[in-house]
Chain A
Amino acid sequence: MTQPEHAVPPAAWAEPAQRFDLAGMGRYLVRFVKKTLVIAELEARKLRHDPTELFTRAVQPALWLLVFGQVFTRTRAIPTGDLSYMDFMAPGILAQSVLFIAIFSGITVIWECDLGIVHKFLASPTPRTALVVGKALSAGVRALSQALIVFLLSILLGVKINWNPLALLGVLLAVVLGSGLFSTFSLIIACLVKTRERFMGIGQVLTMPLFFASNAIYPVEIMPGWLQVLARVNPLSYQVDLLRGLMLGGIEPGAALLDFGVLLAVFVILIAIAARLYPRVVI
């Protein structure tokens, strides 16, 4: 067995927090990134064996854009400034469809825990945070198929897309980040409720408020005051803001950074919570 750590004197090992050890932190970070990628690889391999999920994910945004979007564009009921309603809602629907799938992703953890799969991973020398981030990363990558379908439909529906490569890259990053964030939130719920039935109930209860208390399909400005407050603390609003600004163009770099910053901060906090809760699902 290779245990290079044993070269370090045992005293230093027992309480690593007591000492500022840059090399040790570097080693930990490398190991953490490696393990995170292994967990993501695991999910990618599952997807390769059965990619149908990538297609079923496309159904929901297609319906929203083709049915809801087409009808509401005709009513001109929602003030969207210079933008056509279709342009306005396309990025919102991308964010919404990513949310709707991510928010239910945690159910796999309940399934894996009813079997012994979670036990197997927790008994292995994999950092808990790597298990959580690996899952989030794979959820993020899966969501890219939704970005693809929304872009294709947007082209068909004549949405004026901003083809700046940097903005496109930003869209992908925002989709991965948003999906990772909400799937980690879902993981936390799964760890707390522990049964499929309760999980599905809570998932249903959460999705609609998150969606409607955001700027996904109407601007925040037309909401009543109390709803505006909710919309401004809702991470989905920041994701929509970012996607809208990048997909259609014209976002200020400062505003984009702020949106990214908020999403990243929420993501990190959720990861920290999930990494603490995850080992308890087997108790």
Chain B
Amino acid sequence: MSILETRALTRRFGDLTAVDSLTLSIEAGEIFGLLGPNGAGKSTTIKMLTTLLPPTSGEARIAGFDIARRAADVRRVIGYVPQMLSADGTLSGFENLLIMAKLYDLPRADRVKRVRDALAFMGLGDSADKLVRTYSGGMIRRLEIAQALLHHPPMLFLDEPTVGLDPGARRAVWELIRQLISDKGTTILLTTHLMEEADALCDRVAIMHLGKVVATGTPQQLKDAIGRDGATLDDVFIHYTGDQLLDSGGNYRDTTRARRTARRMG
């Protein structure tokens, strides 16, 4: 059964078509990876699916709710971890989660318990009452994932979940994501431009280029499809998205943000 479906989902900014007729279907319990170079339309897609950005045309449904007409319902069934730092450094980890628990109307009776449980699940029990400002990048990411999962959403969006993390912290986040699927059956849509990450985590991936999906399938299917022995997902990526030197890499503002985020996370 598919939990997320899009039909010809399109978003234009003036003359630029950031997402062009995206048609996707994601099965419940799947880890689905959206890959592509910077500026391919991954973040715009996530923003539309998380109700932050209205689509120009086309439609999408999550757990049966239309993202445009039933945005309020969609917001209750999704969890979202933005690419940039979304935990508040001036609050403790516990407070960050408590505020979100209240915003998501978790029943008062077991609110504190659920926050404590979520922190323990993420291995943050001991640091719960420290200010997030003192956390390491990996701890912040785990806190943000805990925050997005408090209301037990069936669908979780992770935008570049391991950007700026060192290899150890990255593996810890992967492990968590796998555990989530096996414990809670949460469906995950993540974006990444790390092919190693996609290969290690995702059941299926879609490669986006210039706003369009150019290939969809399991990592193995995609590797087989380009007809070269011992192809890696990197080869697949380059095969479909072509010469990276030309004009990708995002604009100045994106780069500033990404680097600042990386610095704060690291």
- Chain A: residues with CB nearer than 8 A to chain B? 1-3, 5, 13-14, 31, 34-35, 38, 41-42, 45-46, 49-50, 114-117, 119-126, 279, 282-283
Given contacts A50-B90, A120-B80, contact A1 B152 (CB under 8 A): yes
Chain B 92-118 interface mask (CB, 8 Å, partner A; 1/0)? 100100011011110100000000000
Docked complex Cα distance between A242 and B75 (Å): 42
B217 contacts chain A at the CB level, 8 A cutoff:
no
Given contacts A14-B69, A45-B95, A123-B52, contact A2 B86 (CB under 8 A): no
Docked complex Cα distance between A42 and B88 (Å): 10
- Contact call B103/A38, Cβ cutoff below 8 A: yes
- Contact call B91/A46, Cβ cutoff below 8 A: yes
Top 4 A-B residue pairs of the complex, sorted by shortest distance between their CB atoms: A116-B82, A116-B86, A116-B84, A119-B82
- Contact call B88/A117, Cβ cutoff below 8 A: yes
* Interface pairs (21), CB distance under 8 Å: A1-B151, A1-B152, A14-B70, A31-B105, A38-B103, A41-B99, A45-B91, A114-B84, A114-B257, A114-B260, A115-B84, A117-B85, A117-B88, A119-B50, A119-B84, A120-B80, A120-B147, A121-B103, A122-B51, A123-B50, A125-B103
- Contact call A49/B131, Cβ cutoff below 8 A: yes
- Contact call A125/B72, Cβ cutoff below 8 A: yes
- Contact call A38/B102, Cβ cutoff below 8 A: yes
Given contacts A38-B102, A124-B100, A125-B104, contact A115 B85 (CB under 8 A): yes
Residues of B within 8 Å of A13, CB to CB, are 70
Residues of A within 8 Å of B105, CB to CB, are 2, 31, 125
- Contact call B86/A49, Cβ cutoff below 8 A: no
Given contacts A116-B83, A116-B86, A124-B104, contact A42 B75 (CB under 8 A): no
- Contact call A125/B76, Cβ cutoff below 8 A: yes
Q: Beyond A123-B75, A283-B52: 9 further Cβ-contacts under 8 Å?
A: A38-B99, A42-B91, A46-B91, A114-B257, A116-B85, A119-B84, A120-B147, A124-B75, A125-B103
State how many angstroms separate the Cβ of B151 from the closest Cβ of chain A.
7
- Contact call A282/B53, Cβ cutoff below 8 A: yes
Docked complex Cα distance between A42 and B70 (Å): 27
Docked complex Cα distance between A104 and B131 (Å): 25
